[in-house]
Homo-oligomer: A and B are copies of this chain.
Amino acid sequence: MLLKDSIYQGDCLEILSSCPNSFVDLIITSPPYADQRANSYGGIAPDAYVEWFLPISEQLFRVLKPTGTFIINIKEKVVNAQRHTYVLELILAMRKQGWLWTEEFIWHKKNCHPGKWPNRFRDAWERLLQFNKSKQFNMYQDSVMVPVGDWAKARLKNLSETDKLRDNSKVGSGFGKNVSNWVGRDKVYPTNVLYLATECANKAHSAAFPIDLPKWFINLFSQPGDIILDPFLGSGTTALAAIQLSRHYLGIEISEQYFQLAKSLLEKESSQLSLFESTI
């Protein structure tokens, strides 16, 4: 039996087996991409990726509540000058397991990895696949509404000199017309594209994705007190986001090194939180 607000070190398939059915409200994870993180996961070969992941997604299906959501952050790598198809095949295979493929959000990365090649540009986006067990899943859209002020500010920023040239678009003229759709409203709903920067590598503790990413989905698909699971915890970003939003968390990480890092970061966060609460 797993405890709430805990993280476990070990193989997620093993640890998940001691988790009850219909236990968690939301799963957010970023599994190791094919051939990445070879030291902890043995570098799953692209051709073997689906086969490797399916037993895990089967367990995740079991532990997720019927109203819950599963968000998976993934991107196919280039193999032999082509995009590999393991992500496409994974979606098709998970549907056969019973998952509903509800939506595909896009993480548009503000700062992607540099590089230059004769046949392709830098990869500036990743998939955020949303899976559900039923059509009646919990979604709290109002919690992620964007204030019109911010929205306008963001759009105006895009009209800066540089961005005008970058996009080579006529937003200048078309802008007013579209703005008029929103004038008078306090908040607007976001879209299915998230435009965020990756966390910089030389930050104190870099993570695969920025904390705003799990935070956004936690707000959207859960309520305070719900349980958030991340079976590939890494440095603990998902659990950190859960704490900061008053949700319970459950984390699994196979690598001793990442586990210790996550542990210390979470302890630090918790102590700061209780310190803060005691001073109120």
Contact = CB atoms under 8 A, between A and B. Distances in A.
Size class of the A contact interface (CB-based, 8 Å): 35 or more
A199 B170 CA distance: 8
A95 B119 CA distance: 18
Given A121-B189, A191-B122, A108 B110 contact: no
Interface in A123-173: 123-125, 135, 137, 139, 141, 146-150, 153, 158, 160, 162, 165-171
A233 B236 CA distance: 50
A166 B189 contact: no
Contacts of A104: 83
A124 B197 contact: no
A190 B57 CA distance: 35
A163 to B, nearest CB: 8
Given A83-B103, A169-B212, A139 B124 contact: no
A178 interface: yes
A42 interface: no
Interface stretch (A7-15, A85-93, A260-268): A85-93
A56 interface: no
Given A108-B108, A108-B195, A167-B195, 10 more contacts: A85-B92, A88-B91, A106-B106, A108-B193, A119-B135, A121-B190, A146-B165, A149-B162, A153-B162, A167-B196
12 contacts: A80-B135, A83-B103, A89-B92, A106-B106, A106-B108, A106-B125, A110-B169, A122-B189, A122-B191, A122-B192, A150-B160, A169-B196
Interface of A: 80-83, 85, 88-89, 91-92, 95, 100-104, 106, 108, 110-112, 114, 116, 118-125, 135, 137, 139, 141, 146-150, 153, 158, 160, 162, 165-171, 174, 178, 181, 189-193, 195-197, 199, 210, 212
